[in-house]
């Protein structure tokens, strides 16, 4: 039995037709990932806050946990990230001003309308100091910095093992902006004899 092959012209016509059908044919776009989850939304451009938009919100992240900077068994150094917002713009931005962080004994921090009267320690970071820790991340523009209970002659020996922290941003012009709540940080000594 002999097999006959199509003529070269017929073969070329078939290939051309197949290519045209492939290009003009149906294209299947999956709405799920290979594990069945929905595809992420399309990326979109987010507008940066104008330089004259006033800061009206801030968020501060403390963590992961305080570090013992003087090796006495008691943690004292806190690492923080700060984000300033000019709502309704969703991305944080850098601005001139002073960040004030106050530490209080547990339950004595008060509220933005009625702050606590006797902070254990107060730290002030000017624009110049904050600019040293400027960074950009997926969230947007922010500041990274650290501070210690030992700063300005302070101590890491305290009543209890935790402090409440309140953050405020004082812009060069405009009203102070308070952080998004009181943050409690645990300063539990590494060993019981470090108390």
* CATH (domain of 117): 2.60.40.1930
Question: CA end-to-end span of the chain, whole Å?
Answer: 98
In a domain, residue 104? The reply is: yes
In a domain, residue 62? The reply is: yes
Paired tokens of 114: 């009625």
In a domain, residue 41? The reply is: no
Bond before 130 cis per omega within 30 degrees? no
* pLDDT tens digits, 10-31: 655 655 555 555 555 555 566 7
In a domain, residue 14? The reply is: no
In a domain, residue 35? The reply is: no
Q: Read off the pTM.
A: 0.74
Task: Please tell me the distance from the alpha carbon of residue 93 to that of residue 140, in angstroms, as a whole number.
Answer: 7
* pLDDT tens digits, 63-74: 889 999 999 999
What residues contact 178, with CB distance under 8 A and at least 6 apart? 58, 112, 166, 167, 168
Q: So what's the pLDDT on residue 5?
A: 53
Q: So what's the pLDDT on residue 106?
A: 92
Q: So what's the pLDDT on residue 40?
A: 82
Mean pLDDT calculated for residue range 43-66: 89
* pLDDT tens digits, 91-149: 999 999 999 999 999 999 988 888 888 999 999 999 999 999 999 998 899 999 999 99
What percent of the chain has pLDDT above 90?
57
Structurally, the chain folds into a number of domains equal to: 1
In a domain, residue 110? The reply is: yes
Mean pLDDT calculated for residue range 50-66: 93
In a domain, residue 128? The reply is: yes
Domain that holds residue 155: 57-194
Mean pLDDT calculated for residue range 46-70: 92
Mean pLDDT calculated for residue range 66-86: 94
Mean pLDDT, the chain, rounded, equals: 85
Output 191 or 150, whichever has higher pLDDT: 150
Q: So what's the pLDDT on residue 38?
A: 87
In a domain, residue 36? The reply is: no
Q: What is the dihedral of CA 158, 123, 135, 176, to 10 degrees?
A: 120
Q: Which residue has the tokens 């001003």?
A: 97
Q: So what's the pLDDT on residue 42?
A: 79
| CB-count exposure of residue 170 (10 Å: 0-12, 13-18, 19+) | middle
């Amino acid at each position: 039995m002999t097999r006959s092959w199509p003529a070269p012209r017929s073969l070329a016509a078939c290939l051309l037709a197949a290519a045209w059908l492939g290009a003009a044919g149906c294209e299947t776009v999956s709405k799920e990932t290979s594990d069945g989850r929905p595809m992420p939304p399309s990326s979109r451009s987010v507008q940066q806050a104008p330089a004259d938009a006033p800061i009206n919100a801030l968020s501060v992240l403390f963590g992961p946990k305080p570090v013992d900077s003087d090796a006495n068994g008691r943690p004292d150094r806190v690492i923080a990230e700060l984000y300033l917002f000019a709502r309704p713009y969703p991305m944080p931005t850098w601005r001139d001003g002073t960040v004030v962080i106050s530490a209080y004994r547990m339950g004595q921090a008060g509220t933005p309308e009625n702050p606590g009267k006797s902070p254990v320690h107060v730290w002030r970071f000017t624009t110049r100091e904050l600019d040293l820790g400027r960074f950009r991340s997926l969230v947007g523009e922010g500041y990274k910095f650290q501070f210690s209970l030992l700063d300005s002659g302070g101590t890491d020996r305290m009543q209890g093992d935790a402090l409440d922290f309140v953050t405020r941003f004082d812009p060069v012009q405009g009203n102070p902006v308070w952080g998004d709540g009181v943050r409690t940080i645990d300063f539990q000594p590494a060993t019981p004899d470090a108390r």
